[in-house]
């Protein structure tokens, strides 16, 4: 499929769905979109993302790149954990962070914990001799009183027996909404990091924290902020304004745009993603732009 045919096909599909979007609930729309996104990935995007990642690595030896924001069926995503981790490995990503939602009355922490356990199981039972599994981190995206926040923990918390520690520390986040400051302190006490996803993007409920609020209350407390997001269609330099680590991600829910925007760090200086974020030495990188126009149309639909 050439680029022109691909774009025409996707545009027709997107606008056709847009014409009926008022009559369809979000979950139903996601089920309709999911098969098409799988086709898009296999016929167009995978090859482009993989080639672009290889070129960047050749130009910057030692650079590790990963997607730090995506979802599976354990929250509001449409693909399984094994499907997502296998595709991430095939693309050539070095690490991937699944960030299931934690939200009172909608996404309980138990589902997030199940996703964390499933990620660990997939990596431990990896049997693809042609490619290595991506590095993974226990993480989740919590809804707070001022907006969403991603919390990332050391891989130490994947180990058997650590589930109780996670439940004791974080299950309260699915019982009632806390402040951004409180959420950041919870993960800080566990040696983890906090990231502000899709800032300055308003919704009818707390979604993307405002940069003004972050400037006043979160500097020196929150570790990173998304400067680039494929899913939300922006490229900014918020990290420079706030003195936070620069993060690039997809916010993928359909296993299609993973790897189009990533976070990179120098593995010669830092042993893992968390230490690079704490040192404020990460880069938000736009890997692939061919999907941007389609994503703009999709945002009107979903």
Q: What is the pLDDT of residues 59-107, one digit of tens each?
A: 999 999 999 999 999 999 999 999 999 999 999 999 999 999 999 999 9
What local confidence, expressed as pLDDT, does residue 22 receive?
A: 38
What local confidence, expressed as pLDDT, does residue 105 receive?
A: 92
The arithmetic mean of pLDDT across residues 133-145, rounded, is: 98
Q: Which two tokens stand for residue 212?
A: 């003004």
- Checking if the pLDDT of 33 tops 70, the result is no
| E strand spans, 57-117 | 63-70, 95-98, 100-102
pLDDT band at 263 (very low <50, low <70, confident <90, very high): very high
Cα-to-chain-centroid distance, residue 95: 11
- Checking if the pLDDT of 34 tops 70, the result is no
Q: What is the mean pLDDT of the chain?
A: 89
| Residue 288 phi, psi (nearest 5) | -145, 130
The arithmetic mean of pLDDT across residues 124-143, rounded, is: 96
Q: Specify which residues 102 forms β-bridges with.
A: 142
| Cα distance between residue 158 and residue 135, in whole Å | 12
End-to-end CA distance of the chain: 26
Q: How many CA within 13 A on the CB side of residue 106?
A: 10
What local confidence, expressed as pLDDT, does residue 16 receive?
A: 40
Kindly report which listed range (99-103, 202-206, 217-221) carries the lowest average pLDDT score: 202-206
What local confidence, expressed as pLDDT, does residue 7 receive?
A: 47
- Checking if the pLDDT of 155 tops 80, the result is yes
SS3 8: helix
Residues for the chain: how many in total? 302
Domains located in the chain, CATH noted: 63-288 (3.20.20.140)
- Predicted structure pTM score: 0.89
Torsion of CA 162, 166, 168, 171, to 10 degrees: -150
The arithmetic mean of pLDDT across residues 171-190, rounded, is: 96
Residue with tokens 């290595």: 132
- Checking if the pLDDT of 279 tops 60, the result is yes
Nearest of 208, 295, 239 to residue 248 by alpha carbon: 239
More confident position, 164 or 42: 164
SS3 215: helix
Q: Tell me the CA distances in angstroms from 287 to 97, 199, 279, one per residue in order.
A: 17, 20, 23
- Checking if the pLDDT of 27 tops 80, the result is no
């Amino acid at each position: 499929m050439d680029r022109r045919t691909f774009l025409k096909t996707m545009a027709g599909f997107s606008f056709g769905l847009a014409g009926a979007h008022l009559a369809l609930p979000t979950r139903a729309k996601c089920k309709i979109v999911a098969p098409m996104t799988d086709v898009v990935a296999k016929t167009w995007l995978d090859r482009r993302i993989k080639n672009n990642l290889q070129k960047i690595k050749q130009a910057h030896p030692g650079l590790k790149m990963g997607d730090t924001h995506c979802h599976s069926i354990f929250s509001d995503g449409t693909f399984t954990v094994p499907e997502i981790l296998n595709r991430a490995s095939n693309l050539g990503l070095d690490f991937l962070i699944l960030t299931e939602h934690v939200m009172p009355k909608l996404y309980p922490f138990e589902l997030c914990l199940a996703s964390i356990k499933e990620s660990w199981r997939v990596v431990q039972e990896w049997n693809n001799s042609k490619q290595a599994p991506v590095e993974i981190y226990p993480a989740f995206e919590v809804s707070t009183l001022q907006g969403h926040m991603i919390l990332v923990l050391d891989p130490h918390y994947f180990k058997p027996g650590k589930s109780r520690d996670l439940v004791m520390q974080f299950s309260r986040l699915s019982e009632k909404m806390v402040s951004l400051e409180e959420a950041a302190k919870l993960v800080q006490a566990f040696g983890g990091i906090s990231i502000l996803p899709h800032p300055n993007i308003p919704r009818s409920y707390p979604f993307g924290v405002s940069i003004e609020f972050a400037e006043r209350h979160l500097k020196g407390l929150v570790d990173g902020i998304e400067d680039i997001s494929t899913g939300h269609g922006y490229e900014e330099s918020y990290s420079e304004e706030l003195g936070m680590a620069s993060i690039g991600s997809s916010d993928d829910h359909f296993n299609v745009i993973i790897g189009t925007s990533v976070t990179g760090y120098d593995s010669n200086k830092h042993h893992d993603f968390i230490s690079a974020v704490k040192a404020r030495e990460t880069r938000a990188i736009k890997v692939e732009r061919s999907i941007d126009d389609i994503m703009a149309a999709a945002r009107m639909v979903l």
